[in-house]
Chains A and B, each alone.
Chain A
Amino acid sequence: MANSGVDTKRRRFLIAATSVVGAVGVAPLAYAFLGSMAPSARALAAGAPVEVDVSKIEAGQLTRVLWQGKPVWVVNRTPEMLSNLPSLDNALRDPNSDVLTQQPEYAKNATRSIKPEYVVLVGICTHLGCSPGYRPEVAPADLGAEWKGGWLCACHGSRFDLAGRVYKNVPAATNLVVPPHYYKTDNIVLVGLDGGKA
């Protein structure tokens, strides 16, 4: 008697239909909630280019500026520093800058720069985003006899040479990023824009 008047087919249809409508409702709700966590219009608008006067950087020194919330380094490399670069190729993962995402075309060269002495790099480790420490000295005790100057990331020990090229057998897998930049005048470099698109 209990089931005599029950139309199970109809009941199943109603359950299914309700579930479908419910699911259709949940999807936009989830989309709205999760979407709210993406960067807001305000965050998207930040990030104007910055200027650096390279003539003020002394030989061998590094200068830091903030661009798009990230450190950007400009280093004035000495002739010895530059002459050491090719000797490191065997110890590096990508000595010829073949990974194209890591630098604009005009920096895919032996010094990874427009002017050989001045290298412009985003100072963020390509492993997990710490800012590596500048270690220009040659063969310091803690870095070993093979060290010819460069950057050591304190976070997990990634190493980069003075052109921002990554060593083998360290956690980072790609060279430091060279941001878009160009020389507005002989001494003023503009970080954040390519020459052509200025």
Chain B
Amino acid sequence: MADHPKHNYTGLLGWVEDRFPLMETWNYHLAQYYAPRNFNIWYYFGSLAILVLVFQIFSGLFLAFHYKPDAALAFNSVEYIMRDVPGGWFIRYMHSTGASFFFIVVYLHMFRALIYGSYKGKRELLWLIGMTIYLALMATAFMGYLLPWGQMSLWGAQVIINLFNTIPFIGEQLSVWLRGDFVLSDATLNRFFALHFFIPVIVLPALVFVHMVALHAVGSNNPDGIEIKQGPKGNRWSPDAPKDGIPFFPYYIVKDVFGVGVFLFVFFAVLFFAPEMGGFFLEPPNFEPANALKTPLHIAPVWYFTPFYTILRSIPDPWYGTVGMFSAIILLFLLPWIDKNPIKSWRYRNASHMANLLLFAIVFLILGWMGTKSVEPLYKELGTRMTQIYFLFFVVLGIHSRPFANSQPSNVLGILIAVVLGLLVWIGSGFLSFGGIFAGIVVGLAFALIFMLGNFIAKQYFGKNGVKARYAAWFFILLGLIIFYDVYFRFVPSDTTATVQMLLQLIWPVVYLGVTLLLPALSPSVNAEKPVPERVTE
């Protein structure tokens, strides 16, 4: 082991520093950690997330002093906390409001990474760790929601655990093992309580720690997406620190304290005046005790899960629905490998990319809103269309990441995907049945044909092998695939209401693909990227 570096601290601090790298750590992570000087409002949410984690751990601990993880006692113990424990209502509302704010903060934190390309430039691991934190957070919130043992607790957990039930072959055993019983019961509640303690207290802080270590090793990104470490050196504090960096302590600590002030104001306003947030933060049916005989007539998960819930229910098959829902999350993990454009910040990318990100955010919000609605034809179709656009986003992101490529979508690649897809459908819809083989062939052929047709039309009308023809080809291919999916997987001739909705709301994918792909095919100006400055801007 290398000795730890010499220092000039004296007195008590010197005594400690000889025995423990106290100031060394402080300097490395705070006083001599140089962060870009151009952080903006989007950079508040990381430190706020840590604050909310601390809130959750402490409010949770004090709830656990009174809470009873037993199917016969849990509901009443929460009522007891609300009514009889001095200040119990405050602690519980702090915890339930905190859960919602946690997700608000984390979603904004993640969107920041999207718009400034913060998952790029050796930050892939940082992004993966962040996504793992997001997963652990979802698991924690999901298990916490079972604890009050109300109607929503029971039926929400029933649905989520049954997601595992849809996995072919092993699903049934897996879900029984997770529940510890054949139906959701006391055994499930008991283990969820243990996990709801273990994950946020042990796993989450550990993940946050490695998240910070990865961040401080690479350095923070910023709204310009410029690496300050590659820019000129020398600032007021040190000759070899980046010129565009300022020490995190005290500068950004002060900035974050301001953020905390604003946050606390909003947080406590909600806690005191609208802790249930009109049913979004705490849902009315959860004030009824769990009843295994009856599902509430209107059921929806808490708002932060509703986007994925909509994706799940817009796919007309249990197993594919589960696959769709989980791939919606897995695709986010893959962002650094989908978006390979060297420019990080959307400030300097083309207008189409900016539009793509904004539309993605809007689609995510609509998906969330649809998840709170009951499944009527209009909403069902809107949810399905938004699901389609959610997945298209990742393809379009990949297309935009090479804005000046002039190669057509490769037909060989198209045929390869077609073969794989055909095989998957074949296996998925009955390996030995004639219908399964047929379905596989239809899907494979259709995919290959749409691919070639898209290329063909684009070359006819948008010039041979140009940037424009590439965009146009993708427009036709993706639109073709959407229409094929509609006709082949969801069209039921006898259901006129659904068919009318399907036709009317085809407008959404057309508009989405039109804005992101057809527009750059027609007008080069929306495809133009801006020069990235050498130094960060104000």
Q: Which A positions have Cβ atoms within 8 angstroms of B?
A: 34, 37-40, 43, 47, 64, 66, 68-71, 90-91, 123, 126-133, 142, 144-146, 153-157, 168-173
Say yes or no: B187 contacts A43, CB within 8 Å. Answer: yes
Say yes or no: B177 contacts A37, CB within 8 Å. Answer: yes
Interface string of B153-182 (1 = CB under 8 A from A): 001001100110110000000001111111
Is B332 located at the chain interface by the 8 A CB criterion?
no
Q: Which residues of A contact B191 (CB under 8 A)?
A: 37
- The listed residue (A38, A64, A153, A157) touching B177 by CB distance below 8 A is A38
Is B238 located at the chain interface by the 8 A CB criterion?
no
Q: Which residues of B contact A69 (CB under 8 A)?
A: 181-183, 185, 292
Secondary structure call for the A interface: loop
* A92 → B minimal CB distance (Å): 10
Is B403 located at the chain interface by the 8 A CB criterion?
no
Say yes or no: B312 contacts A130, CB within 8 Å. Answer: no
Select the stretch in B75-83, B315-323, B474-482 that faces chain A: B315-323
Say yes or no: B165 contacts A128, CB within 8 Å. Answer: yes
27 CB contacts below 8 A, A to B, read: A37-B177, A37-B180, A39-B176, A68-B183, A69-B185, A91-B492, A91-B495, A127-B321, A128-B162, A128-B166, A130-B158, A130-B159, A131-B295, A133-B295, A142-B374, A146-B495, A154-B295, A155-B299, A156-B321, A157-B374, A169-B316, A169-B495, A171-B313, A171-B315, A171-B316, A171-B321, A173-B316
Say yes or no: A168 contacts B380, CB within 8 Å. Answer: no
Q: Which residues of B contact A168 (CB under 8 A)?
A: 316, 492, 495
* B428 → A minimal CB distance (Å): 11
With A43-B182, A171-B317: A71-B293 Cβ-Cβ less than 8 Å: yes
- Tell me the nearest residue of chain A to B316, going by C-beta: A169
* A184 → B minimal CB distance (Å): 23
* B323 → A minimal CB distance (Å): 13
- Tell me the nearest residue of chain B to A39, going by C-beta: B181
Interface string of B349-378 (1 = CB under 8 A from A): 000000000000000000000000011110
Complex Cα spacing A145 to B500, Å: 14
A-B contact count (CB 8 A): 119
Q: Which residues of A contact B185 (CB under 8 A)?
A: 43, 69
Q: Which residues of B contact A38 (CB under 8 A)?
A: 176-177, 180
Say yes or no: A154 contacts B299, CB within 8 Å. Answer: yes
With A142-B376, A157-B380: A169-B183 Cβ-Cβ less than 8 Å: no
Q: Which residues of A contact B178 (CB under 8 A)?
A: 37
- The listed residue (A90, A123, A129, A153) touching B165 by CB distance below 8 A is A129
Complex Cα spacing A133 to B298, Å: 10
Is B297 located at the chain interface by the 8 A CB criterion?
yes
Complex Cα spacing A40 to B181, Å: 8
Say yes or no: B375 contacts A70, CB within 8 Å. Answer: no
Interface string of B486-509 (1 = CB under 8 A from A): 000010101101100000000000
Complex Cα spacing A142 to B165, Å: 30
- Tell me the nearest residue of chain B to A168, going by C-beta: B492
User: What 9 pairs across the A-B complex have the smallest Cβ distances?
Assistant: A157-B375, A156-B313, A69-B183, A128-B162, A129-B162, A131-B295, A128-B159, A130-B295, A43-B181
